[in-house]
Amino acid sequence: MASSSALSRISTLQNHISPLEANNKLRSLVKISPEVSDAISNGRAVVALESTIISHGMPYPQNLQTAKEVESIVRENGAIPATIAILNGVPCIGLNEEELERLASLGKSVQKTAGRDIAHVVARRGNGATTVSATLFFASMVGIQVFVTGGIGGVHRHANHTMDISSDLTALGRTPIAVISAGVKSILDIPKTLEYLETQEVYVAAYKSDEFPAFFTEKSGCKAPFRVDSPEDCARVIDANMKLNRQAGILFAVPIPKQHSAAGNIIESATQRALTEAREQKVTGSAETPFLLARVNELTGGTSLAASILSLEVPLIFTFLPKSFDG
């Protein structure tokens, strides 16, 4: 594997700078699975995973099956998965099989939890599925350096009227974690999203491509700010970002394989129709993205869901990154 030339930099740093070692009070605020806790304490590779994709991204039991497959891929690549969610008011970093099952079966009755919602869900002892922004917060709290997801949130279309901009972007701007994703969902305004990420000083690069990917498809029509062509390229960027003590995050966008890329024009047509329906039904805020994704999936006969699942699994080729450094 291309990563074999550089084993253990981030994991070594995790072992030395874990916030848990500096502030034991955090142990009373979150529940860390024994497997994840042991990995962090011993400098082993850990990969953070969000949970909104489980509760709001797809129906049961497909969501549970996908969650298990994703965790399995992480383990196959030598890392420990840390799926993050809030259960009964307790932030959980690393879910066991029973907790995954519970989260998947509860589905959309679980609150979609962004960074701003964390205190509310915890105070009410509720159940919350973490978005990218909330997952970044908890991963950073315990010293996890790499987070893999399908697609990040962004600037919504017509944001010049609605001011609807995902907190994922500001969270990336203040959290020094490497996020590996399949780009930005095509239901969003990708050019404005890239501009906003630049304003937040987030390093953005496409993997083996000059063009930024659009989640469902490998191309968006937008040039990527930077390009990386190997795991070592990614590792060097993460290493430099940490050594320079930059507080902004990193976004590596990995295109969905061309042969699996859903027909862009079909999804774009469905997206435009779904956007019109959302405006007519006054669907806004945190409810908009789940509505649009579900409607686009209906309009494309399931094509977009299949692409969505693959777009989550493809970035997992980078799960070795937490152990791909050598100090």
Whether the CB-CB separation of 36 and 139 falls below 8 Å is answered with no
| DSSP 8-state class, residue 183 | B
**Active-site residue 185, yes or no?**
yes
Please state, in angstroms and rounded to a whole number, the distance separating the CA atoms of residues 131 and 280: 26
Q: Which of 31, 71, 112, 185 is catalytic?
A: 185
Helices (H), the chain: 9-17, 19-22, 34-41, 52-55, 62-76, 97-106, 118-123, 132-142, 159-162, 167-174, 190-199, 231-243, 264-280, 288-299, 303-313
CA 226 to chain centre: 20
Q: Is 302 left (phi over 0), alpha (psi -120 to 50) or beta?
A: left
Please state, in angstroms and rounded to a whole number, the distance separating the CA atoms of residues 266 and 25: 51
**Active-site residue 50, yes or no?**
yes
Helix H, strand E, coil C: the string for 297-311 is HHHCCCHHHHHHHHH
Pick from 211, 243, 244, 245: which is nearest to 227 by CA?
A: 211
Tokens of 296: 């686009």
Please state, in angstroms and rounded to a whole number, the distance separating the CA atoms of residues 40 and 14: 7
Pairing of strands 80-87, 128-130: antiparallel
DSSP secondary structure, 97-114, as one string: HHHHHHHHHHGGGSEEE-
Q: Which of 31, 50, 288, 323 is catalytic?
A: 50
| DSSP 8-state class, residue 218 | S
Please state, in angstroms and rounded to a whole number, the distance separating the CA atoms of residues 237 and 234: 5
Whether the CB-CB separation of 234 and 228 falls below 8 Å is answered with yes
Give the residue numbers annotated as catalytic, written as ranges: 50, 185
